[in-house]
Amino acid sequence: GKTLTLTRRIQYLVQEQHVTPHEILALTFTRAARYELKNRTSEELPDSIAIPPRISTLHSFALSQLLRNAPIITFVPRPLRIADDWEERYIIEEDLKRILNLNKIKDVRTKFHQLSADWETLNAEKDNWETEYHDPQFLSAWRKHRETYGYMLRSELVYQLKKSIEQNPDFTLEQLYKHILIDEYQDLNRCDLEVIKMLTTSGVYIYATGDDDQSIYGFRFAYPQGIRMFSQDYSPCEVLPLENCMRCGDNILQIALFVARLDVSRLEKPIRAYNTEQPGEVHLLNFPDQSEEAQCIAQICKHLIEVVGIAPKNILILTRTDRYGVFSSVLKEALTIANVPVATQADVDNSLDQDEGRIFLSFLRLLVNPRDHLAWLTILKIRNNSIGDQTISKIYDFAVAKGFTFINALVEIINSPGLLSINENILQREYESINNTISQFRGVDTNTSEELTHFIANIADTIIENQDLRKEATSYLQSIVTVSEITNLRDLLSTISTSLSDKEQDIDINSVNIMTMHKAKGLTAEAVFIVGAEDEYLPGDQIGEEKEGDERRLLYVSLTR
C-alpha cells in the first residue's frame, strides 16, 4: 500500500542514499495518517538517528512556518490562533448572522464557503479580487470580527502561507528540505499544489503517492487533475504503479472498478486483487423502508459477530450524509435492540463540544495565551454566569467602535462603570473568577506526554463536574497526545486546531462503527454496509460531470474498504 511505499522510500533515502534524515519532509493529509507513517518510519530507521525526518500534516506544517515568521507577516492577526469547528459554527457564524442581519446560519455558511473557495482555487489571486468581491459587506464585517477576536480560519492557512512566501523576501522555512514526500496527492487543491511547487525549488526531489480514483474532497476543492498532470508538471519523472490491491478480494474490486471506470477522465491503471483465495462477497439488498433496512443490517451484524466471528470493530456502516443523525439514529437503535455494540462519530468525538467540555478546552487555551479572545468569549457565553447574548453583543460593538480587541474592550468596560448600560459587577465577578482559575495552573511546564496527560487530567478535575464527560474529554485528548507524540499544551492545541475534522476518523475499538463515507477514507474492515445507496443521495443533487465525479469516486472508496 501507499503508506508502506512511503515508509520504504524514507528508509531507502536514509540507509542506502545516505540522505541526512532532517532534510526529508513528509506531508500527510490527516493526523491519523501522520501517526501511522511516523510509527512505521521509526520502526524501520536506526535508533541512532538524532533528528528524524519531519512528518507533518500539510495544515500543521503551514501553521509552523507562519508562526516562525510571524514578526514579518502583517496581514494576519497575532499571535496566530486558528478557530476550531465549534468556534466557527457557534461564535463566528452566529455573530456574523447577527451583524449582517441574516435569517439563517446557512446564509452565513454559504458566504464563508464562497470565500474559502476563492482561497483554495486561487481565485483570490486575480487582479482587483478584493475591490470587485461580490459581497463587500460580508468581507468587511468578517475582517472586523477577525481583528477583534484575533483568529484565522483553518481554510485560509495554506493560502496565507503561499501569500507570505510570495510577498515577504525575508520569509524563511524551518529547513531547506532536499526530499519532499506527499501522501494522498489527489486530495490537494490548487492552492496546496502551488505551495508544493514553491517548496520543490531547484534540486529538491518530490515523491508523491495517490490515486485519482480516490479524490473525494470536492467540497474542499480537491483537484484530481493535479495527480493526473503530475508527469507533465514535474517532467522528467517516473511513475511507479502499485498493481496489487491488498485490501479487497476480486469480487469486490471488480464492482468498484466498474464504478471508477465510468469516469472518462480517470487514469487507467493495472490493479488486481493480491489475495486470490478470498474473492469476497458483494450483496445488493433492497428494503421497503429505512426501518426494515436498519433491522436487517442489525441482524446481519449480529450473525457476523456471533457466528462468523468478526470483531465488531471490523464492521463499518457507511452513509453518504447523516445530518441530524437521520441515518445513524435509526441504525443505532436497531443495533442496540439486537444487542450489537455500536458507535457513531457523534458518540466518539463530541465531548469537547458539550458545554463543560468546551469551557475546559477554553481554559486550556487561556493557559497558553491569557489573552485568547475566543476562549474568553466562549467562557462568558456558555458558563452559568447571568451574562446574556445582549451584553456580549454590546461589548463587541464597543470594541469595533473603539478599534479595541475583545479583551481590551472588556477590561475598559469593567474599569469604567456606566460606560455601557450593562451590569459591570457581574462582568467583573466573572472576569476575576476566570483569572483565579487560570492562576491555579499557570507556570506548569511539561516535558513528556505522560506529564502532559497528567496535567490535563488535573485541570479537568477542577473544571468538568460531569464524571462521564470528564473521562471522555481527557481520553480524547490523551489519544491525540499519544498519536501525535505531543509533550506540551501549546502543541496539543495547535494539533486540534489544524486537524481537518471532517476527514479525521476516531474509531470506537469495541463497536460496530457508523460514519459518513468521507470519514471511511483510509480505513479497512472485514464487512462494510453502504446504506442509502440510491439516486436521492448518490449522486443526489450533485449535477454536472465534476460534482458527479466526486460522488462516483466517493462510492468507489466506500466499496473498497
- Asked whether residue 183 falls in the same domain as residue 316, the answer is no
**pLDDT-based confidence at 50, cuts 50/70/90?**
confident
pLDDT value at 366 more than 70: yes
- Asked whether residue 465 falls in the same domain as residue 426, the answer is yes
- Asked whether residue 305 falls in the same domain as residue 407, the answer is no
pLDDT value at 401 more than 90: yes
Is 405 strand, coil or helix? coil
- Asked whether residue 34 falls in the same domain as residue 62, the answer is yes
- Asked whether residue 429 falls in the same domain as residue 393, the answer is yes
Residue 542 belongs to a domain: yes
Q: What is the pLDDT of residue 238?
A: 94
Q: What is the pLDDT of residue 503?
A: 47
* The amino acid at 267: L
- Asked whether residue 475 falls in the same domain as residue 526, the answer is no
Contact 57, 29 (CB under 8 A): yes
Which pLDDT tens digit goes with each residue over 218-241? 888 899 999 999 999 999 999 999
* The amino acid at 518: H
What does the alpha-carbon distance between residue 426 and residue 553 come to, in Å, rounded to a whole number? Answer: 55
Residue 203 belongs to a domain: yes
What does the alpha-carbon distance between residue 45 and residue 303 come to, in Å, rounded to a whole number? Answer: 43
DSSP annotation string for 142-192: HHHHHHHHT-B-GGGHHHHHHHHHHH-TT---SS--SEEEESSGGG-BHHH
Of 440, 474, 496, the residue at which a domain comes to its end is 496
Conformational region of residue 325, where left means phi above 0, alpha means psi within -120 to 50, and beta covers everything else = left
**pLDDT-based confidence at 334, cuts 50/70/90?**
very high
- Asked whether residue 32 falls in the same domain as residue 93, the answer is no
Contact 382, 362 (CB under 8 A): no
Q: Kindly report whether the peptide bond that precedes residue 539 is cis, defined as omega within 30 degrees of 0.
A: yes
Q: What is the pLDDT of residue 494?
A: 86
Which pLDDT tens digit goes with each residue over 126-146? 999 999 999 999 999 999 999
Query: Which CATH number covers residue 387?
Result: 1.10.486.10
**pLDDT-based confidence at 33, cuts 50/70/90?**
confident
Q: Which residue is it, cell 472508496?
A: 557
Is 25 strand, coil or helix? strand
Q: What is the pLDDT of residue 53?
A: 94
Query: Which CATH number covers residue 52?
Result: 3.40.50.300
Which pLDDT tens digit goes with each residue over 230-270? 999 999 999 999 999 989 999 999 999 999 999 988 989 89
Residue 156 belongs to a domain: no
What does the alpha-carbon distance between residue 256 and residue 287 come to, in Å, rounded to a whole number? Answer: 22
* pTM assigned to the model: 0.88
Residue 479 belongs to a domain: yes
Q: Which residue is it, cell 481583528?
A: 147
Q: What is the pLDDT of residue 178?
A: 95
135 class by beta-carbon count within 10 Å (0-12 exposed, 13-18 middle, 19+ buried):
middle
Of 122, 151, 180, the residue at which a domain comes to its end is 151
Of 98, 127, 151, the residue at which a domain comes to its end is 151
- Asked whether residue 15 falls in the same domain as residue 126, the answer is no
- Asked whether residue 47 falls in the same domain as residue 178, the answer is yes
Contact 204, 24 (CB under 8 A): no
Percent of the chain topping pLDDT 90 = 72
Residue 272 belongs to a domain: no
- Asked whether residue 310 falls in the same domain as residue 175, the answer is no
Share the mean pLDDT of the chain: 91
pLDDT value at 500 more than 70: no
Q: What is the pLDDT of residue 296?
A: 97
Residue 251 belongs to a domain: no
Residue 129 belongs to a domain: yes
- What's the domain count of the chain? 4
Q: What is the pLDDT of residue 504?
A: 53
Question: The domain containing residue 12 runs over which residues?
Answer: 2-67+163-240
Q: What is the pLDDT of residue 502?
A: 47
Q: Kindly report whether the peptide bond that precedes residue 288 is cis, defined as omega within 30 degrees of 0.
A: no
- Asked whether residue 35 falls in the same domain as residue 114, the answer is no
Residue 538 belongs to a domain: yes
Contact 310, 517 (CB under 8 A): no
- At 55, phi and psi to the nearest 5? -120, 120
- Asked whether residue 401 falls in the same domain as residue 462, the answer is yes
Report the DSSP pairing between strands 54-57 and 24-28. parallel
Contact 409, 376 (CB under 8 A): no
